[in-house]
Amino acid sequence: MTTFRIAPSILSADFARLGEEVRNVVAAGADMIHFDVMDNHYVPNLTIGPMVCEAIRPHVQVPIDVHLMVKPVDRIIPDFAKAGANIITFHPEASEHIDRSLQTIRDHGCKAGLVFNPATPLHVLENVIDKVDIVLIMSINPGFGGQTFIPHTLKKIAQARKIIDESGRDIMLEVDGGVKIENIAEIARAGADTFVAGSAIFGKPDYKAIIDAMRVELSK
Ligand code: DX5
Ligand code: ZN
């Protein structure tokens, strides 16, 4: 049976009360915290860095899933590992040497992953699959929360599922962008097991009600 994980993106949390927000969302049933790092260079937005990761680390026991939307990638990896990240993913377009970036993440004791934008093909996976612990499929163009799920990415999720199954490796398949109660079951049917949701969770007052409703959809 598939283990489904829900990873609330703190991009839509109240940054003025971030410690409380992450504690509340974990108490509501979150399996991990998704941490969106944007640099106003690789993506047109600027968010949070290792200092904020370090600040929330003592507030939660669950893994912190750092999604790097930065270019270059490599020099920030050790800082996030020191700050308590458990998973670090990056976009292959943002790294000059993808194998090296994956290896650097693993050398720092974190799970490593690649993130694929809606228009980015998956072929990079072929050569580095042995160093990949997580594949993240973007179902929106990265940079902002609250966007609408792009339907053609369902096909990409299914392709990624096939590649992962054929590898025989234990690799998480995460989906990020526009995930809601209404579409989570369809995304799971395409092959995803890990679901990032920002505005769908932090945009509502009762986090537990949303996460519970997502789990009901996943159990159908
Ligand atoms: C966007 C981020 C996402 C974002 C998702 O670039 O990677 O994690 O926060 O937000 P929602 O769930 O609102 O689409
Ligand atoms: Zn993200």
Pocket test for ligand 1, best of 6, 10, 12 (most atoms within 8 A of CB): 12
Is residue 74 classed exposed, middle or buried when 0-12, 13-18 and 19+ CB atoms within 10 A define those classes? middle
Judge whether residue 131 has pLDDT over 90: yes
Number of domains in the chain: 1
Tokens 């912190």 sit on residue = 64
Judge whether residue 210 has pLDDT over 90: yes
Token reading at 110: 């974190």
CATH of the domain at 40: 3.20.20.70
Token reading at 66: 């750092």
- Rounded Cα distance between 85 and 77, Å, is 9
Predicted TM-score (pTM) of the model is 0.98
Q: Write out pLDDT tens, residues 156-177.
A: 999 999 999 999 999 999 999 9
- Residue 84 Cβ < 6 Å to ligand 1: no
ipTM of predicted assembly, 2 dp: 0.99
Q: Of 39, 133, 176, 193, which is the active-site residue?
A: 176
CA of 12 to the centre of ligand 1 (A): 8
Does the active-site annotation cover 176? yes
Judge whether residue 1 has pLDDT over 90: no
- Rounded Cα distance between 180 and 148, Å, is 10
Range of the domain at 178: 5-218
**Among the residues of the chain, which ranges form H helices?**
18-27, 50-56, 77-82, 98-107, 125-128, 153-167, 184-190, 199-202, 207-218
Q: Write out pLDDT tens, residues 80-129.
A: 999 999 999 999 999 999 999 999 999 999 999 999 999 999 999 999 99
